[in-house]
Amino acid sequence: MSSSRLLRRSHARAQLRDARFRYPSRRETEVLKGLSLELRPGKVAALVGPSGGGKSTVCHLIEAFYYVNDGAILFDGVNIKDLDPRFLHDQISIVSQEPSLFATSPSSPTSMVPVYSMR
């Protein structure tokens, strides 16, 4: 794994392809079971679901805090494992799940968090 590569442009399309993930501390529980998702540059995406549904996990994977066990995460076709994590952290904006930031319940359609945006 090379962690020194940078993308040529900062507005990259992010893709999760058949992503499967288990936290190292809970190998018996598969958190993501073949998730495919595309996040387009200049667009805002929101992940909505119940507590424990994997929303924060997706954010941690996109930020390269963890890597998928199977499948791939790509930025403009480049595997996240080949990118410099510091570059990703400088380029990605994510508003994490924090109920105290919103005056609605998590089941409300207006509380769509976390949010991803590539600078």
Q: What is the pLDDT of residues 1-24, one digit of tens each?
A: 444 555 555 567 889 999 999 999
CATH 3.40.50.300 fits 14-118, yes or no: yes
Query: Predicted confidence band at 104 (pLDDT cuts at 50, 70, 90)?
Result: low
* Tokens 């994510």 belong to residue: 94
Every domain of the chain and the residues it spans: 14-118
Ranges 15-24, 53-62, 85-94: which has the least confidence: 85-94
Residue 72 has pLDDT above 80, yes or no: yes
Give the pLDDT of residue 103: 56
